[in-house]
A and B are shown apart, each in its own frame.
Chain A
């Protein structure tokens, strides 16, 4: 078991700072998800940990050892690349045991690990194929296999499931998670899919433009988003964040901002499932109704703003209808519009 720790790590290419002074710690045996929109620096962070990029500044520690300047092979890591990086001239089996051959493991051990990985990943029938004869999802599983057989204490994954179909993805998520727990691997898992991050990770690090927006448990990110960006990124549908300024009638119907936050700077955040539809609430017009079976999403316009309410079951509401929206005590998250940061809200 090994911890991974970054302190003040920066990676700059000329003027662009792909990763800008980030610090975080992954406890041994934990799975941390690096989450964020495209181009926010997730892959770069992972490559810094792997040693494929040299940090411009800061310290990287793996298993309490400073590896900032260590070569990739000296860091005790395995990695799954975003583009798989399979060797096109080698068979699936040869690809998987490539690293074991490099380390000159004996044949019995190699075969045993290959067999185990092939079983876990369902690659048994494909071992003699070349990568070009595999589908994208199968290639991805081969790349996973190469990381599994390495038995490294730290495993880095760059969007390893992005090419799988929905069902296989759910299965593989569970497989990866099980394997990671069973072998006690510390895992850094890059994804831009928030469902993947929320369901798999012990800890989620949400990045934006090279900086960390929030670092916490999945529940933290969902229940106590530190910024408007986090609130809008995590959860589907995203949290409703509405500036109070110019919202006619809100003074009476909705909670007032906390002391010290003037009305014109305040934004009220409320999760869709907490937004009530009641008689005498803040009047809004229904724009769209989406019936999902177990629940219904009601999208309504409040002046120029759109909000979504999620109600259980099927509700009788039609487009164009006028409804009243109510925010219960304790469901309001308050953000300061001037810096996008959280002020207070449900604990």
Chain B
């Protein structure tokens, strides 16, 4: 064996563990889901058989599927711009030379290191009717009592707030890193020219942060379809499916109703959605962004 061949074999051997894990736990399940979605769910007396697009027809007729999709849309609309906006604000604030800088950074970052289950439990307490923190504050100012998680009108909003709280600190870290790569003399040059802070942000900082924003945006989109832990803890999709999200619905169908074929069908929809998002963002947005 020549040295070159040996290096090649070594290279593949080093890649093998990670590759086999990736194939086994990511690629294969995705492919299997697509195949399963064309079969019926196996029952004790009726083994699964090929049924073509029947599962998809059932899905289109399923009002809860549509409810989950719409909820997911609003969840994305509610969380993504808000968490990105907050992240930028916090990053700029923390990037300035302020007293107790590292403490503030830590404080903003803390929600990110907490497990989502713990976060959800903390917020469960905040949202508790009558005794919860929010209710106590509202009552202090003489507001009306609201059952934030128990009412169909406010439940989705409540879980959006939790997601934003959790995500903004994480995105802030990326913006902070990007900001530290921008020379402070740009800000000084703008200040000498008389640019206000807002003008400087709009015309200089924000365009320079665009690559970061693209990256964060993709992450935020994916998270919007991926985040269900706090739904499990806080609302279980209720009340009356007001907070049901696509992934949570898949979990319900697959592991509460054991309708695995239908769950596979829903999974295919989720995969398709994520693929489209990634495709649009990398293909289209990337070309419109300045890279140094």
Contact = CB atoms under 8 A, between A and B. Distances in A.
Given A83-B183, A88-B292, A99 B188 contact: no
- Per DSSP, chain B at the interface is helix
Interface residues of B, number: 18
Contacts of B188: 50, 52, 72, 81, 85
A88 B186 CA distance: 9
B194 to A, nearest CB: 4
Interface in A77-112: 77-79, 81, 83, 85, 87-89, 98-99, 102-103
A94 to B, nearest CB: 9
A347 interface: no
Interface in B194-218: 194-195, 199, 203-204, 207-208
B190 interface: yes
Contact of B186 (A52, A87, A150): A87
Nearest to A99: B193
Interface residues of A, number: 22
B192 A98 contact: no
B192 A89 contact: no
Contact of A103 (B189, B194, B207): B194
A89 B185 contact: no
B198 to A, nearest CB: 11
Contacts of B208: 88-89
B194 A81 contact: no
A238 B183 CA distance: 38
B194 A79 contact: no
B290 interface: yes
Contacts of A132: 292
A79 to B, nearest CB: 5
A78 B190 CA distance: 11
A303 interface: no
B193 A98 contact: yes
Contacts of A102: 190, 193-195, 199
Interface of B: 183, 185-186, 188-195, 199, 203-204, 207-208, 290, 292
The 9 A-B pairs of least Cβ separation, nearest first, read A99-B193, A73-B194, A85-B185, A85-B189, A89-B290, A72-B192, A89-B207, A102-B195, A72-B191
